[in-house]
Amino acid sequence: MSAQLKSVDQLETFRRETRAWLEANCPAEMRQPVTEEGDVCWGGRRWKFKNDAQRVWLERMAERGWTVPEWPKEYGGGGLSKEEARVLREEMGRLSCRVPLTSFGISMLGPALLKYGNEQQKREHLPKIVRGEIRWCQGYSEPGAGSDLASLKTRAEDKGAHFLVNGSKIWTSYGDKADWIFCLVRTDFSAKKQEGISFVLFDMQSPGISTRPIRLISGYSPFTQTFFDNVQVPKENLMGELNKGWTIAKYLLTHERNMIGGMGTQRQTPLSQLAIKSIGLASGKLAEGTLRADIARFEMDALAFTLTMGRVMDEAKAGNETGAVSSMLKYYGTELNKRRAELAMSIAGSEGLKFDGQTQADIAPVWLRTKANSIEGGTSEVQLNIIAKNVLRLPGA
């Protein structure tokens, strides 16, 4: 048994203490369901807290490192074991506590920093992520480099003390709201495309950076195109080795894919219940037989997928290798999510077509948003390519 594993008794003590602390410290407003965008706290220099409760909740949780329960204490994390982190999640769920901080620093950059960053970078950046002081964005895709990400052209030229960055990125999530960017740049212009890429971090307030929001089919503008015009990036902001950024990029994409793939399994009202409400039962069955059959097929696949996510986690805990799992989960999870949205629209009928750009309950924007799930973080087709190559070992793939 690893030293990390706590005995059942210790875990129960931890559970009791955690519950008591949450009850005493989580403001009542932070135990209400999230109903609008401002309810999700992203942090950052320019973040406007919706209310005092949101600020207090973030500060209290950050002080214990519980915005990132499993990160090491020395960088401001909670230092909890997997089991303790699970208990914390369960207790937060029990009290309906909101997640105090959501950010790409937590879900994407942090894990990569912990693995590939140097000591100085970790000490500089991780605590600010933990406390929600710096909001990060991701500079990966470019107008000419989507699925073929490694063909990216944004240049970082070596100018002695700094890199000079020129080029542009696209699909930068919240690029106009972020404080810093982690960015893939080309540092070797003659090497094979994957081998000339480096991973750099820089301040979005640096001179020469501009952003332009992109309006999507859903009506929202969560993405920007981001332009770099002679941006000076200090050499010490290179993460990992020069020209070895692709390794970090792939590692980070794995995290992103797990996150996107897992979205389909978040607790949602079963389609069958929506359908019973909208269509009604006849002799105990949904009154529309053909739609019922599709709903049943979806619900079965969704349950099978949830069980598979659980099995993958169990296998990982048992130390078993389950290769290219993130591609499988990303592919299947996002396709399921799209199926669910299509069925939800059919179930709602004309009600589902309502679209004024403001009403939170409208499902049309959600339906439209799901279409991106199988594109962002590597398209479904790219995931299938990865499975064919890395798992099935098919030739020339």
Partner 1 sequence: MSLVLTEDQLMFRDAAKRFAAERAPVAQLRKLRDDNDAAGFSREVWKEMADMGWAGVLVPEEHGGAGFGYVGAGLVAEEIGRNLSATPLLSTAVLGVTALLRGGSAAQKEAFLPAIAGGDLVVALASDEKNRHAPHSIATRATGGSGKFKLSGRKVHVLDGHVADRLIVTARTSGDVESRDGITLFLVDTKASGVNVTRTPTVDSHNAAAVELRDVAVSDSDVIGTVDKGAVVLDAVLDAGRAVLAAELLGVAEESFERTLGYLREREQFGAKIGTFQSLQHRAAHLFCEIELVRSVVLRTLQALDAQEPTASNLVCLAKGKASDVARIATNEAVQMHGGIGMTDEFDIGFFMKRARAAGETFGDYYYHADRFAQLAGY
Give least dist CB 346 to partner 1, A: 15
Q: Which is nearer to partner 1, 277 or 354 (CB)?
A: 277
Give least dist CB 146 to partner 1, A: 17
Give least dist CB 321 to partner 1, A: 13
Residue 345 CA: distances (Å) to CA of 72, 219, 337 = 44, 17, 12
Pattern 21-60, partner 1, x by CB under 8 A: ----------------------------------------
Pattern 331-370, partner 1, x by CB under 8 A: xx--------------------------------------
Q: Which is nearer to partner 1, 207 or 284 (CB)?
A: 284
Q: Which of 107, 308, 346, 379 binds partner 1 (CB under 8 A)?
A: 308
Piece of the chain touching partner 1 by CB under 8 A; list 18-26, 352-360, 361-369, 378-386 = 378-386
Piece of the chain touching partner 1 by CB under 8 A; list 5-13, 28-36, 41-49, 381-389 = 381-389
Q: Which of 194, 272, 346, 379 binds partner 1 (CB under 8 A)?
A: 272
What does the buried/exposed string (b/e) look like for 21-32 if buried means 16 or more CB atoms within 10 Å of the residue's CB? ebeeebbeebbe
Q: Which is nearer to partner 1, 4 or 118 (CB)?
A: 4
Side chain identity, residue 65: G
Give least dist CB 50 to partner 1, A: 38
Q: Which of 221, 314, 354, 357 binds partner 1 (CB under 8 A)?
A: 314
Q: Which residues bind partner 1 (CB under 8 A)?
A: 270, 272, 275-276, 281, 284-286, 292-293, 295-297, 299-301, 303-305, 307-308, 310-311, 314-315, 317-318, 320, 328, 331-332, 381, 383-385, 387-388, 391-397
